[in-house]
Structure 1
Amino acid sequence: MPPLKFCANLSWLFTELPEFTQRFQSAAAAGFRAVEAAWLYDADLLELQKAKKQSGVEVVLINTPPGDVGNGDCGLGAVSGREADFRRGLELAVTYAKALDCSRIHLMAGRVPMGLDRAAAAEMEATFIENLTYAANVLLKEGILGLVEPINTRITDPRYFLNTPHQAADILQKVGSPNLKLQMDIFHWQIMDGNLTQNIKTYFPLIGHIQIAQVPDRNEPDSQGEVNFQYLFSLLEEMGYQGYVGCEYRPLGNTEDGLGWLREYWNSHE
């Protein structure tokens, strides 16, 4: 069984370095061959390209722009009335992805508007399906995979529209595009539904990217918490997962000092 491939999320790791572009080299020095990021649109694209080239790492995932963060946006994919903004954001994400040779874009769903009951948000699903259909066609032409990610509404974001793997799988089925996949963040899945083994097995054919963090404090996988990552890594190996596993966690201290779990994994697979 081939070992898993890990990538560093530069929005979460190596934040000791204030300049986003500086983190590429730190990730490479720590042994990562690939990186991902949430939002990197505040960084100059030419500087990002330069940092990527100098570090030698691959960029494997970025998110679509969040929208107007000051007014509560966190993605726009399912937000009715913001379709034009979503398309502009998608265009910007594609520009960055192509420039960085990035093959995956997380299409963020966004939040249920204040005052709207989640149970009455059927219009949001219709909007999301429409936007995902549009995005799938755009991304297919560019050779980029689109991803949707459920985000837990118990701890992280109480109003996020897409919050369980079951909801995400249902929406992907309704869109019916082979160019859209499921982004499995184990942190969110454990908080919302648990039952990780069966959910991984059930939705494995849909999974296009994985992210990890310990539960409930979102720290290193080997920190104190309720998820047995040694078991999950073995399960993913047995199932033949060949994509990347994104390290999207909050280091307890210095990022490099907290990578003992990863060095141990690498050493055990030499």
Structure 2
Amino acid sequence: MCVCFPGDVMAGDLGLGAVPGREAEFRQGLDMAIKYAKALDCKRIHLMAGRVPVGSHRTAVAKEMEAIFVQNLTYAADILSKEGITGLIEPINTRITDPRYFLDSPHQAAVILEKLGKPNIKLQMDIFHWQIMDGNLTQNIHKYFPIIGHVQIAQVPCRNEPNSAGELNYSYLFNILENIDYQGYIGCEYKPLGSTMESLGWIKDYWTCSK
């Protein structure tokens, strides 16, 4: 998975998809992301929504930002379809990770995708963020499975490997994904407690237990 140009991160940007007045930059960033994706033979690009502007109240700008996001995603969907690439939108929790991120729940993302109506723009399910914002993972996975285009994992609350101590039973969650026939990749977006190789031991353990 590639990530669309997030803007000036040092200045506080974290994506431009829903940010007022940054539409031209979003399109330029999309062009750049497509070039990288084609060079790497990557078939998915994360289209980051961005943050609520400093000094703005979330509820006051929600409608404007949603409209801009839908507009930018519509443009992106048409461009990406010509390249055979799927666009992804990812809710990021606003309780721990980023209080100002615009897209913060699968429910909000599903509403936007329904308004968009483009089959090549999908929902990126990061289980870490979903658990923090809403929980109810079993029902939400089943409910939103038809629009999920990518899955990412990390333990809650410290964002370590899935078999580390925390709130989530990943053997159970992996079984759900297998039972509903999820065929995509699972991204390991976590902070290893030790080395990267050691942190991947859960894969062998899960395969052994699931046979």
> Normalization by structure 1: what TM-score?
0.76
Structure 2 residue corresponding to 1:204, chosen from 145, 161, 165: 145
Q: Which residue matches 2:4?
A: 64
Is 2:50 aligned against 1:132?
Answer: no
Identity, % of aligned pairs? 69
Structure 1 residue corresponding to 2:49, chosen from 81, 102, 109: 109
Q: Which residue matches 2:124?
A: 183
Q: Which residue matches 2:34?
A: 94
Gaps of 5+ in 2: none
Q: Which has the higher contact order (CA 8 A, sep 6+)?
A: 1
Shift of 1:269: 5.3
Aligned residues: 210
Q: Superposition pairs for residues 24-103 of structure 1, below 5 Å?
A: 61-103=1-43
Shift of 1:66: 1.2
Q: Which residue matches 1:9?
A: none
Shift of 1:266: 3.2
RMSD, aligned α-carbons: 0.9
Q: Which runs of 4+ in 1 moved over 6 A?
A: none
Range 251-260 or range 97-106, more displaced = 251-260
Residue deviations 1:194-239, cap 9 Å, x none? Answer: 0000000100100000000000000000001001100000111111
Give the whole-Å Cα distance in 1 for the aligned partners of 2:6 and 2:65.
17
Gaps of 5+ in 1: 1-60
Residue deviations 1:75-133, cap 9 Å, x none? Answer: 00000100000000000000000011100001000000011100011111110000000
Structure 2 residue corresponding to 1:237, chosen from 163, 172, 178: 178
Q: Which residue matches 1:169?
A: 110
SS for the counterpart of 2:125 is strand
Q: Which amino acid aligns with 1:109?
A: A
SS for the counterpart of 2:159 is coil
Give the whole-Å Cα distance in 1 for the aligned partners of 2:48 and 2:78.
17
Is 2:168 aligned against 1:227?
Answer: yes
SS for the counterpart of 2:198 is helix
Give the whole-Å Cα distance in 2 for the aligned partners of 1:88 and 1:103.
19
SS for the counterpart of 1:73 is coil
Give the whole-Å Cα distance in 2 for the aligned partners of 1:90 and 1:237.
32
